[in-house]
Amino acid sequence: MELTAVDIRSWLAEDFGEGDLTTDALVSEEATGEASMLLKERGVVCGLEVAHAVFAELDPGVRFDQLAADGDQTEGEVARLEGRARALLGGERLALNLLGRLSGIATITRRYVDAVTGTGAEILDTRKTTPGLRLLEKYAVRCGGGTNHRLALDDGILIKDNHLRVAGSIGAAVELAQATGEEVEVECDTLEQVEEAVAAGADIILLDNMTPALLVQAVVLTGGRAKLEASGGVTLENVRAIAETGVDFVSIGALTHSARALDVSMEVA
């Protein structure tokens, strides 16, 4: 998980503004306290280290005892804290926002991964992430058992429909991309495009919004000459049927753009 003190300070500055008026009015600087962080529903916990970092930025001497590890499927108390009361209260919302968001992503990812167990297909994420939180959200996908697709635009070549409109054809686009020496993935909407991509020597073909019946045909047509990634319209209800067509990967934007935050809380003793 990639995280810097600059990130934490920026997020805290956004939340604090000019200062925590409520806590500063009610709690003395010398006061200390204890608290517990809780998952109020069963799920895959993710974000304990970043929660710790939030409190440590406000109180370098804070004690943060993890009672679970990121990636554990659990419920209830996941961490205990002890430190300056102002730090515990001031960092509470940011720490919970991050813990709930990341745990939600890890939890829904685990459900997709479990749904395709035994098919041989891998669950991938996409770049449909929250600006500024991509590395953390992709970390959460890994905690849920998924696999990261591209982390950024410099992390692989993926020729999509708008690229094809500019390049003119799949064959021309793949040829230009292959000159970089990088692995080349190309998006295809039809079986005719799949044939073009295979003929051009694409390494991976993204099968966009194809029905399971079309996916089976694409698998047969490709005959192992390229890896196949199914994407578009994937839900927990249909993901296994998609995986059973024989594709190598199933990519799901909803892992990060639509995951519901897990219900989490912090209780001061």
Q: pLDDT per residue over 197-241, tens digit each?
A: 999 999 999 999 999 999 999 999 999 999 999 999 999 999 999
Average pLDDT (123-137) is 96
In order of start, what are the domains of the chain with their CATH numbers?
5-113+260-268 (3.90.1170.20), 115-257 (3.20.20.70)
Q: Pick the catalytic residue: 9, 42, 63, 160?
A: 160
Say how far apart CA 164 and CA 176 lie, in whole Å. Answer: 11
Report the 10 Å Cβ neighbour count for 193: 20
269 by Cβ neighbours in 10 Å (0-12 / 13-18 / 19+) ranks as exposed
Mean pLDDT (whole number) for 72-95: 98
pLDDT of residue 5: 72
Q: Which is catalytic among the residues 57, 59, 208, 229?
A: 208
Question: Of all helices (H) and strands (E), which one includes residue 109?
Answer: helix 85-115
Nearest alpha-carbon partner for 42 in 63, 68, 19, 13:
68
Q: Is 128 a known active-site residue?
A: yes
Q: Which of 9, 42, 63, 93 is catalytic?
A: 93
* Strand ranges for 113-181 from DSSP E: 122-124, 157-159
| Residue 196 designated active-site | no
Say if residues 81 and 35 touch (Cβ distance below 8 Å): yes
49 is catalytic: no
Please identify which residue in the block is written with the tokens 């909407």.
189
Does the annotation count 101 as an active-site position? no
Tokens of 172: 């021309």
Name every residue whose Cβ is closer than 8 Å to that of residue 218 and which is 6 or more positions away in sequence: 188, 191, 194, 205, 207, 210, 228, 247
Active-site residue, 59 included: no
Find the catalytic residue in 125, 187, 196, 229. Answer: 187
pTM: 0.95
